[in-house]
Amino acid sequence: MAALPAYLLDIQREIEAHGRAYGLDFWETSFEILDYRRMQEVAAFSGFPVRYPHWRFGMEFEHLNKSHIYGLSKIYEMVINNNPAYAYLLEGNSLVDQKMVIAHVLGHVDFFKNNYYFSKTNRKMIDGMANHATRVRRHIERLGLDKVESFIDSCLCLENLIDPMSPFIVRQAPERPDDHKAAEVTQELPRLRAKEYMETFINPPEYVQEQRRKMEKERDKPRKNPREPQRDVLLFLLQNAPLEGWERDILEIIRDEAYYFAPQRQTKVINEGWAAYWHSKIMTEKALKASEIIDYADHNAGVLASAPGQFNPYKVGVSLLRHIEERWDKGRFGKEWNECEDSEARRTWDKRLGLGRQKIFEVRKHYNDVTFLDEFFTEDFCRENQFFSFAHNERSGNYEIDSREFRKVKQKILFQLTNFGEPFILVEDANHENRGELLLVHRHEGTDLNEDHAHATLNAIERIWRRPVTLRTVLDGKAKMLRYDGKDHTDKPA
């Protein structure tokens, strides 16, 4: 661990002072300088110095290493959501780069600390990850690498089957022991009110009888597990699958880490936008020396560049934040603004409210990507920033711009961000067809699953559940039951 040399430490303190003056609120951040190989290593571990042994980190490392060698990418900045925060600087970067990274990281740390979606994450995750690594290593020593690794492989297939909002909501009231009884007592036969002499006509005895039978049948029906379809598939498996001790431990670790990383995936655009906003603000208004301007501008442009067909979260995030700032500075919000249709009036609209800064601080506290874009991605913004949606053209084999229409563009953006652009999969029944089989449902919203992946994932779930697993989904417009019984895949129409 190379401690930060004194001159960089001075710069860090200076930039932090600027940040505080703007109202940023961050944890103590400790920077470390790494050479590019260590940087790639840490990046492969998603920013952490230690992770449990698994080949996919090696794959990520190989990938980063190749991209570096071929000059395709360079890792500038990395920061961990932890208190105190840890961040890394690349050895050999120019001073102006290091300044920019420090300022950028400051933005991230402020975001980690204050954004609501991060509020439930483990702020001592550095230790957490190290503990996970130790636990997994212990299992490996006992059981051998192959066994443990292949189980981790299975668990990772399900890594995305969590419920990112569950830390904030109680999805299901805990079942109380007297729930059953209470239901019985309060249950009344539905009958229409009638005068006594009309009773047999309005509520004929046969009908009442039938209702009673139905109700009893309903009551005696075995209760479903889960009571309602459950999104946190990992939790469901932890509670219900026949796992051995070490397997449970590993599944728990995977789930823990998935929940830790979820907010970062939920806030990619707004988080990067926020950090980019602050690095450029601090750099251009305070920290830059005249001699550094050109280099800064060059690198900043690199970070914010977007190739056609690319959705650069830095760029979109920062422009949208600036757009919001301008709107609230000039009072371009509320009923009056929304209803104004005079384009000249809209163009020159300025009520000199100066609420912009306050508003973006609010946004950084309460929003995630979906809500951020849903609320603030306006038609004006879409047009000014030349957004378009593109699609694959079968005939030319190219991706082509298919629309600049605001509604379509926004729909597509939100679709990509909702549930990280991944399908919703829920556990519906742990005793499917009364055979102890697991039934999952894909909540189909217009896009089919990738079938090969779905099959392979079913294999992984079967490995954990140890009984046949079925997924109900829709393929090519037809409802399908994809089933894997440990040997063969079948797909029956549902």
Partner 1 sequence: MALRIDPDHGRFRDIVRGKIKQNLKKYISNGELIGRKGKDVVSIPLPQINVPRFRFGSKGDGGVGQGPGQVGDAVGKGEPGEEGTGKAGSDPGEHALEVELSLDELAQILGEELQLPRIIPKGKERLITEKDRYVGIRRTGPESLRHFKRTFRQALRRQVMSGSYDPKHPMIVPIREDKRYRSWKTTPLPQSNAVMIFIMDVSGSMGDEQKEIVRIESFWIDTWLRSQYKGLESRYIIHDAVAKEVDRDTFFRTRESGGTMISSAYKLAAKMIDSSFPPSEWNIYPFHFSDGDNWSVDDTTLCIDILKKDILPKVNLFCYGQVESPYGSGQFLKDLGDHFEEAESVIVSEIKNKEAIMESIRTFLGKGK
Residues 6+ apart with CB under 8 A from 468: 435, 437, 438, 462, 483, 484, 485, 486
Q: Is 477 in the site for partner 1 (CB under 8 A)?
A: no
Q: Are 87 and 31 in contact (CB under 8 A)?
A: yes
- What's the one-letter identity of residue 237? L
Residues 6+ apart with CB under 8 A from 205: none
Length of the chain: 494
Q: How far is Cα of residue 117 from the mean position of the Cα atoms in its chain?
A: 10
Query: With respect to partner 1, which residue has the nearer C-beta, 80 or 157?
Result: 157
Query: With respect to partner 1, which residue has the nearer C-beta, 15 or 270?
Result: 270
Residues 6+ apart with CB under 8 A from 39: 75, 78, 88, 90, 91
Adjacency order of strands within the sheet including 29-34: 29-34, 85-90, 78-80
**Residues within window 142-161 making contact with partner 1, judged by CB under 8 A:** 149, 153, 156-161
Nearest distance in Å: CB 461, partner 1? 10
- The binder of partner 1 chosen from 93, 121, 264, 280 (CB under 8 A): 264
Q: Is 291 in the site for partner 1 (CB under 8 A)?
A: no
Size of interface with partner 1, in residues (CB under 8 A): 82
Nearest distance in Å: CB 327, partner 1? 20
- The binder of partner 1 chosen from 240, 385, 418, 431 (CB under 8 A): 385
Query: With respect to partner 1, which residue has the nearer C-beta, 265 or 332?
Result: 265
Interface map 410-439 toward partner 1 (x if CB under 8 A): --xx--xx--xxxx-x--------------
- The binder of partner 1 chosen from 134, 306, 338, 490 (CB under 8 A): 306
- The binder of partner 1 chosen from 387, 462, 464, 480 (CB under 8 A): 387
CA distance 416 to 100: 30
CA distance 231 to 438: 14
Q: Is 494 in the site for partner 1 (CB under 8 A)?
A: no
Q: Is 22 in the site for partner 1 (CB under 8 A)?
A: no
Nearest distance in Å: CB 391, partner 1? 4
Q: Is 402 in the site for partner 1 (CB under 8 A)?
A: yes
Q: Is 119 in the site for partner 1 (CB under 8 A)?
A: no
**Residues within window 38-77 making contact with partner 1, judged by CB under 8 A:** 38, 41, 44-45, 49-50, 53-63, 66
CA-nearest of 375, 387, 472 to 426 is 472
Check residue 93 and give left, alpha or beta (phi > 0: left; psi -120 to 50: alpha).
beta
Nearest distance in Å: CB 339, partner 1? 28
Helix (H, G, I), strand (E, B) or coil at 374: helix
Q: Is 452 in the site for partner 1 (CB under 8 A)?
A: yes
